[in-house]
Structure 1
Amino acid sequence: MELEVAASVALAVLIVAYGFIFGVLKRVNEWIYVSRLGEKRASLPPGDMGWPLVGKMRSFLRAFRSDDPDSFLSTFISRFGATGIYKTYMFGSPSIIVCKPETCRRVLTDDQNFKLGYPKAVKVLTGRRSFHSISNAEHKRLRRLTAAPITGSEALSMYVPGIEENIVASLEEWSSSDQPVEFLTGMKKVTFKIITNIFFGLDQVDFNFKTMEILYGDLARGMKSAPINFPGFTFHRGVKARRELVKILQAVVDERKALKGRNGSITRKNMLDMLMEVEDEDKRKLEEEDIIDILLMYLLAGHETSAHGTMWAALYLHEHPDILQKTKVRSWFHRRI
C-alpha cells in the first residue's frame, strides 16, 4: 500500500514538473517578447520562441553541425505550415526567420522598412569599430578606405603569385599523402595562410599559425552562439579568443610602426602597411582600433568564405568534367598571353 502511494506521489511530481517545464518555462520568451506587443501580436507570424535565454539556438546549432542542416527549418514547416516566415528567439534576441525567395528579396532590398543589423554576439566579437557596429555613414567611409588598397590590377598583381604558390604547394602535399584529406579543413588552412601573408607579409613577422587557427575557430563559433559571457559557454570562449587576437594584432601593428620609424619607408608593402597609410578626403588616417577591428573582421570573413567557395567550386568542377576541361584550356590560354 505504501509503495503504491509513493509511486502515485512520484508520478504526480513528475507530471507537475513536466507541466512546469513545458507549460511555464517554455513560454517565458513568449510572455516577455510577444505579450508586451499588445495588438501588434496579431501581425506576427507563427513560430516557437524556445527556452529562456537560449531560445532555439541549441536546435539550430545541432542541425547546423549535422548532415541535414535543413532539418531546423523543416521542424518549423511541419509544425506551423509552409508560410516561409516564422518567429523565434536566436542569438540572444527575438527573431523572424524568412525562407521564401520573394520575402528574402524584399528584406534585402527594402531599405526603408528594413534596417541592417547583426546579433549581439557578432557585434561584440568583431569589435566596436568593425563594419557590424558602426553607423551607415561611417560604414561607407571605412569601406571606401579599406577597399582601395585591395582592389584593382596593381593589388592583384602583388597577391596572385603568392596565392598560386601556396595553392600549388598544398595540392602537391595532399596528392603525395597516403592518408585521406578533408578538403574543407585543408582549404581553411591554406586560405588562412594566404590571407595572413597578404595582410601582414609574414616573411617579416613571427606568427604562430596553429594558435591563430585555434583562436579564430573559437571566435567563429562564438559568433554563432547565444551571447552568454560565462565560463563554459561558447560565447565566453569567443570573448577570450578575441582578447588574445587583439593582443597579437596590436603587437604586429606596433612592430610595423617601429620598422617604419627605423627605415623611414617600407618598399615591400602589405595590407597592414596600406591601411596604416590610407587617408580620407579630410586627410584623416585610420585609428589603431579601426585597423585592428578591420583586420580581425577581414581575416575571419576572408579565409572562411574563400575556403567554402573553393570547396564548392572544386566539387562542381569534379561533377562537370566538361566545364573543368574548358577551365583548363582557358587557364592555359591566359598563361600563354
Structure 2
Amino acid sequence: MELINFGFWVFSALMGGFVALNLVLIKRANEWYHISMVSRRIQCSLPPGDMGWPLIGNMCSFFIAFKFGHPDSFISNFISRFGRTGIYKAYLFGSPTIIVTTPETCRPILMDDAQFKQGWPKSTSLLMGKKSFLGLSEEEHKRLRRLTAAPISGQKALLVYHEFMKDVIVSSLDELSKAEKPVELLTEIRKITFQIIMHIFLSCESNPGPLIETMEKEYANLNCGLRAMGINLPGFAYYKALQARKNLVKILEDVIDGRKARKENNMIVEDKTDMVDLLMDVEDENGHKLENEQIIDVILMYLNAGHESTAHATLWATLFLHENPHYLQKAKVIDETLRVVNVSLFTCREAIADVSIGGLKE
C-alpha cells in the first residue's frame, strides 16, 4: 500500500511539473511570436514587460486588480518584476500594448498629435458609438468638440444648472444623514450624479421615475462593458453592454423624435434649459446641424465621462478631507484630489508610426 501511495505522489509530481513546463513554454512562445512580428523592422529594443497568455494576454491580472483588488497592483507588479522604467510592453484588450506610467513618458505621447492618435479598443468604440469622439478623425473631433463644448460645459450652461445641482446635493445628503444604517458612499454619489446629469440632458424627463431608473440600470450595464473583453456572447459583460446600448439608443431616439414633433407642431418652449434641445439646434459654420446619431453618441459619451469621474473624484475628496480636515480650509481641494489620485484609470493612444522613447520602441 505504501508503495502504491509513493508511486501516486511521484506520478502527480511529474504530471504537475509537465503541466507547469508546458504553461511556461506556451507563454514564452506567445511572447516570442508578438516580439518577432515587430523586431524585424525596428532598430531599438522593445520595453521590458510580459505579453501574458495567447489570446487573453494580461487581461486576467488586469481584471483581478481593477475589479477585485487594488488597481495600482497591476502596474506595481510590472514595476517589481521589471524595474521602475516607466514603460512596459503588455497585451491588453486584444492587441499588443505599450504601458507608460510616468510624466516623462506620458508627456510626449499625449502632446504629439503628429505621431499619435486616439487608439481606444474597438469594443470600447462600439459601445460609445461611431459618432462619439472616440471614433472620429482629428478634424471631425475638433469640429464636434467645438460645437458641443459650450452648450454642455460652458459658463452659461453651468450657471443655468448651478441652483438645481445645489438643491439635489443638499437634499440627498440630508436624506443620507438620516439613514439608520451605513450606506455605500460611492453608490449614493453615483445616484446623485446620474439624477443631475439626466436633468441637464433631458430636463422634464429627468424627474425620478421609471425612465430614470431604467436608464440608470442600462447605463450601469453599459459602463461595466467598457473595460471588459470584447466577447459578444450571452453571459459576458460585453454582450450585456451592447444590449444596454441598444436600449439607451432607443430611449434617446424616442426623446429626440418627440422634440422634433413638438417643433413641427410649434410647441416650442422659449426658455431652453435642456441639452437635447441645444444639441439639436447647434450649427457649424456651414449651417449643418448634428444628426440624431451624433447627438445620441455625444450624450452617451458625456454621460460616461461626467458620471464616473465625478462620482470617484467626490469619493476620494471626501476620504482625503476626512483624513486631513485641515485641507478643508484651503481652496485647492479638487486640484489636490486629482494630484493624489487619477479618477480616470487610463487613456489610450495609437502610434501612427514607429516611435522611440528613451531609446525604446513603441
Pairwise same-fold verdict (TM > 0.5): yes
Q: Alignment length, in residue pairs? A: 326
Q: 1:54 to 1:211 in 2, by over 3 A?
A: farther
The residue aligned with 1:189 is 191
CA 1:29 to 1:61, structure 2 compared with 1: closer, same or farther past 3 Å? same
**Contact residue 49 and residue 55 of structure 1 kept, 8 A:** yes
Instruction: State the distance in 1 between where 2:9 and 2:320 align.
Output: 61
User: What's the counterpart of residue 261 of structure 1?
Assistant: 264
1:255 counterpart letter in structure 2: G
Please say if residues 198 and 206 of structure 2, whose CA atoms lie closer than 8 Å, have aligned partners that are also in contact: no
**What is the deviation of 1:263?**
3.1
Amino acid at match of 1:256: R
> Take 2:298 and 2:115, find their aligned partners in 1: how far apart are those partners?
28
Q: Does 302-311 or 136-145 show the bigger shift?
A: 302-311
SS in 1 for 2:88: strand
1:157 to 146, 156, 159: 159
Cα displacement (A) at 1:105: 1.7
Equivalent of residue 254 in structure 2, options 221, 227, 251:
251
Residue 314 of structure 2 aligns with which residue? 310
Q: Could you report, residue by residue, the CA deviation over 1:249-268 in whole angstroms, capped at 9, with x for unpaired residues?
A: 11221222222223342224
* 1:88–1:96 contact (8 Å) kept in structure 2: yes
Check conservation: 1:28, 1:51, Cα contact below 8 A: no
CA distance in 2, matches of 1:184, 1:204: 21
In the TM superposition, what is the alpha-carbon distance from 1:177 to its structure 2 partner? 0.9
* 1:130-172, Cα deviation, whole Å (9 max, x unpaired): 1000100000010011112124443222211111111011011
Match of 1:30 in 2: 31
**1:211 corresponds to which letter in structure 2?**
T
Structure 2: which 5+ runs fail to align? 332-362
C-alpha distance after superposition, 1:74-115 (max 9, x if no partner) = 221222122121100011211011112211122212233333
What does 1:1-337 align with in structure 2 at a 5 Å threshold?
A: 11-24=13-26, 26-27=27-28, 29-39=30-40, 40=42, 43-203=45-205, 207-269=210-272, 270-325=274-329
CA distance in 2, matches of 1:117, 1:99: 17
- Alpha-carbon deviation of 1:309? 2.0
Comparing 216-225 with 190-199, which one deviates more in the overlay? Answer: 216-225
The superposition leaves residues 263-304 of structure 1 with CA deviations (integer Å, 9 ceiling, x where unpaired) of: 342224200000011110000000111011111111111111
Question: Does the 8 Å contact 2:86/2:101 carry over to 1?
Answer: yes
Choose 291-300 or 210-219, whichever is displaced more.
Answer: 210-219
Deviation at 1:212, TM superposition (A): 1.9
Structure 1: give runs of 5+ residues left out of the alignment: 328-337
Larger deviation, residues 143-152 vs 2-11:
2-11
Q: Give CA-to-partner distance per residue, 1:303-332, whole Å, 9 cap, x none.
A: 1111122223333333443443567xxxxx
Q: Which amino acid aligns with 2:291?
A: E
TM-score w.r.t. structure 2 length? Answer: 0.82
Q: TM-score, normalised by structure 1?
A: 0.88
Paired position in structure 1 for 2:353? none
Structure 2 CA distance for partners of 1:6 and 1:172, relative to 1, 3 Å: closer
1:61/1:176 CA distance change after superposition, 3 Å: same
Please give the per-residue CA displacement for 1:170-229, whole angstroms capped at 9, x wherever unaligned: 011001111112221111110001001000113478753332222222212211112121
SS of match in other structure, 1:87: strand
Farther-moved stretch of structure 1 (201-210 vs 166-175): 201-210
Asked if the contact 2:233–2:239 (Cα under 8 Å) also holds between the matched residues in 1, the reply is yes
- Specify the alignment match of 2:355 in structure 1: none
What amino acid is the match of 1:259?
Answer: R
Please say if residues 92 and 120 of structure 1, whose CA atoms lie closer than 8 Å, have aligned partners that are also in contact.
no
Partners of 1:232 and 1:41 in 2: how far apart?
Answer: 44
Distance of 1:41 and 1:18 partners within structure 2: 34
* Alpha-carbon distance between aligned partners in 1 of 2:312 and 2:134, rounded to the nearest angstrom: 22
Secondary structure at the residue paired with 2:117? Answer: coil
Question: For residues 139 and 326 of structure 1, what CA distance do their matches in structure 2 show?
Answer: 37
**Amino acid of the residue matched to residue 257 of structure 1?**
K
- The answer to whether the Cα contact below 8 Å between 1:221 and 1:234 also exists between their aligned partners in 2 is yes
Amino acid at match of 1:242: R
Q: Separation in 2 of the partners of 1:275 and 1:297?
A: 14
